[in-house]
Structures are given as structure tokens and as C-alpha cells.
Structure 1
């Protein structure tokens, strides 16, 4: 049975294990060295209760059953960007393409909407048809492409940006609520 919940510090080892192959052999991340569980716990804590970190589980209680994770983070450092966030998702290879990622990403988008963020931005290394379809399935639309901005595994990589309007922009803007005050929202 698929479950979606807020990530906990105890999930850091599973999250790091899921992320490592994406760093070592893929281009979805521009990191070169995968973070260990301690570094991942630090990243999770750095969200400071504002930005969601979520995991999807397969119901296997022997190892926690974490098969993927998604999170939001600060889009840019300047204060005027605080109503916008960037989103990311990573799944195990075995669970990819089975629908759990879509449920997880939809829950992340619904949660960000409930928090009051105005837009979510997804950065996708190109080509990546599966990830583009996932983003578009939960409401993202293509916003643009930066050409040849990353170099990894002997190749230059384009990055596309997909944007999801979560709420109507209002003046004055409403401060986003903390994830810790909203919790995981599904549909």
C-alpha cells in the first residue's frame, strides 16, 4: 500500500540512498559527490519548517519502505522571491514509472498551494520526457530553457524550467504558511 507522509530525520539514510545513483550516474542532479545520511538530515533540517520534505512508502515496514522523496526549497536568495519555491523529486529505479511519484508530486503541489506559495518551479535536465510528463501531469507548464549550463559525464546539459501557478498573485502578497502548520495535503 502506497503511503505519503512528511519526511522525518530517520528517513535521511533512505533518502540519501535514493539520491546517490542520480548523482553518480545520472544528470538529474548537478552534484558530483552524493551526500551521506548526515548531510541529508542537515538539508532536511535547513528547510526550517517552511519548505516541505515528503516521502512515499510502499508499506514495507522492515526498512521503512521509502521508495521516493520530494521537496521544495528556496527558489532564489533575494527576498522578493519568497512567494515562489523550487521543487524536486527522486524515486528508486524500481519504483519509477509506477504512479507513486505522481501521487507524491501531486501531494507536494497541493501542500504548497495550501501553504500559499504563488508559483512552484521545476528544473529539469534535458532531455527527460518522463520527468516532463510528470511535471505536466500535476499542472506545470514549460517556462523556458537554459542551454548548455551544466557539464557532467562528459557532456553539456540543457536545463528546462517548468512553472506551476499555485495561487493567484495578490497585492500585497500573503506570506506562505509553514509546512509544519499545514502538514501533507492530498487532493
Structure 2
């Protein structure tokens, strides 16, 4: 059986499905440091804000179903940081472990290269072996580890940062 995949820019119309994917991570895991589910209008605003900043927000469609998304945001607000972004990728659990995350993240990195960006930073709540492995498989290297910077579900959480240099 052939699987059909397509990666396209997200639109605010994707907000409900994106909330369906993301809110699982918010409510059941420490992958996201958000503590309350995100409502559809807020997600639509986030998608629009990323687009307004001239950055990509991509969705992966597998056999007609929105299976995941990846996007980049500004790393910091001061002008000298304009060449660096922070990236995020989330997959519906039903599509995990099948190479879709790597495909989607690769497309995001290509889109960032096409915009002439210099550095991508991935922040990972730790422990998260799968995310660390994905980043490293795509060429990222770990550059920082902060201990106990967040608290969720009654426990202190660490965050690691991985970076990938895209170009000059």
C-alpha cells in the first residue's frame, strides 16, 4: 500500500487539528511547558503571527490527514538576532516512529535555508531521547543544558538546547 504525503504551509484553518495534536502534549507530557490546552482562536493567531514574521509554519498531510506540523519563531527580539530562529515539530502520536518527523523537520530546515537564515535552535524538555535523536540525525549538536528551569506535574524539568548552522 502506498502512503501519500504532502507538506504545505499551515493556515489558520488548520488551527483545530493542530490543537488536537499539540494539546495532547500539553495535557499529558512534559514536552511542552504550557500547562493549559490551547484554544483554536489562539492557535490560529500563533499561525498568523509566524507568517507575519516571514517564517514558515508547515503541516504534514498523510493520506489526507494532517499528521504533524513544524514551525520557526524568532529566537530573540533584538535586531542582531534576526538571523537565528527557534524551531518546533510535533506529530500526532499515530504517526510517530515512521520517519514522518524527520521528513517534516527536514522540509522546515530547507525552508529556513531558503530564507537565508544562519542558525536554528531547538529547545528540548529533558529527558526526551526521541527528540534529541531526531535533532542529532538532522545535524544539530547539543550546546547547552539548563537544570530545573521549569516545573510541571509537580516535578522540576531540565531543558537542553541543540543548534544547527544553516549557512554563512
Map of 2:107 onto structure 1: 107
Separation (CA, whole Å) in 2 of partners of 1:31 and 1:49: 22
Map of 1:35 onto structure 2: 38
Compare the two structures and name the one with the higher strand fraction.
2
Map of 1:87 onto structure 2: 87
| 1:153 corresponds to 2:156 | no
CA-CA distance at 1:138 after TM superposition: 1.4
Pairing partner for 2:58 from 42, 49, 54: 54
- 2:32 alignment partner, SS class: coil
* TM-score (norm: length of structure 2): 0.95
Map of 1:174 onto structure 2: none
Compare the two structures and name the one with the higher helix fraction.
2
* Matched residue count: 164
Name the Cα RMSD after superposition.
Answer: 0.9
In structure 1, list runs of 5 or more residues that go unmatched. Answer: 169-187
Separation (CA, whole Å) in 1 of partners of 2:23 and 2:61: 18
Question: Which has the higher relative contact order, 1 or 2, with Cα contacts under 8 A spaced 6 or more apart?
Answer: 1
Runs of 4 or more, structure 1, over 3 Å off, are none
Q: What is the CA deviation profile of residues 1-41 of structure 1, one whole-angstrom value per residue up to 9, with x for unaligned ones?
A: 11111111211111111000110111111111111111100
Please give the residue correspondences for 1:1-187 in structure 2 after superposition, counting only pairs within 5 Å: 1-47=4-50, 48-60=52-64, 65-168=65-168
